[in-house]
Amino acid sequence: MATQKDPGIAALLEVVPGLFGFLGIGHIYNGNLGKGIIFLIGYWIFLIIELILMFVIIGFLLIPINLVIILLSAYLAYQDAKKFGYEPRQQQQQQQVVIGGVEDNNKKSKRICPKCGMENDRENKFCSDCGYDFTSIKK
């Protein structure tokens, strides 16, 4: 099952290290290692080009773009973390989790796939991750 990541932490991990040239840490925190490394290397390439262009004065005009790149990357890390369905701890504790076909009618419930462990909506007939058929569960 994919662990839920806090969108605020993902964005913060993108902005703070990004100010020091380490963009992509928020994406790595989200579990997107490839995307994080691409942002890291791509940002370093941009910084090198910007440094070279500073010798011809035009590089100084690119400095504001640094902040835009960092904020855009932070926004993307925030949105990626939200895709995993982050819920604050209080809501997680209040929610009833159902394994297999057992259900508690008093609370909103989820169903955990016995094959892959992914949390699914109770109404799903198939696992959204591995395609396991919940209708085959004997009640």
73-124 residue pLDDT tens: 999 999 988 887 666 555 554 454 455 555 444 445 788 888 888 888 888 8
User: Residue 72 above 60 pLDDT?
Assistant: yes
Interval 10-36: pLDDT, tens? 999 999 999 999 999 999 999 889 999
Give the per-residue pLDDT at 38: 95
How far apart (Å, rounded) are the C-alpha atoms in residues 114 and 104?
18
- Strands, E assignment, the chain: 96-99, 109-112, 119-121
Q: Which amino acid is present at 99? A: I
Rounded to two decimals, the pTM is 0.58
How far apart (Å, rounded) are the C-alpha atoms in residues 38 and 125?
37
Interval 111-127: pLDDT, tens? 888 888 888 888 888 88
In degrees, rounded to 5, the angle at the alpha carbon of residue 89 between the alpha carbons of residues 88 and 94 is 105
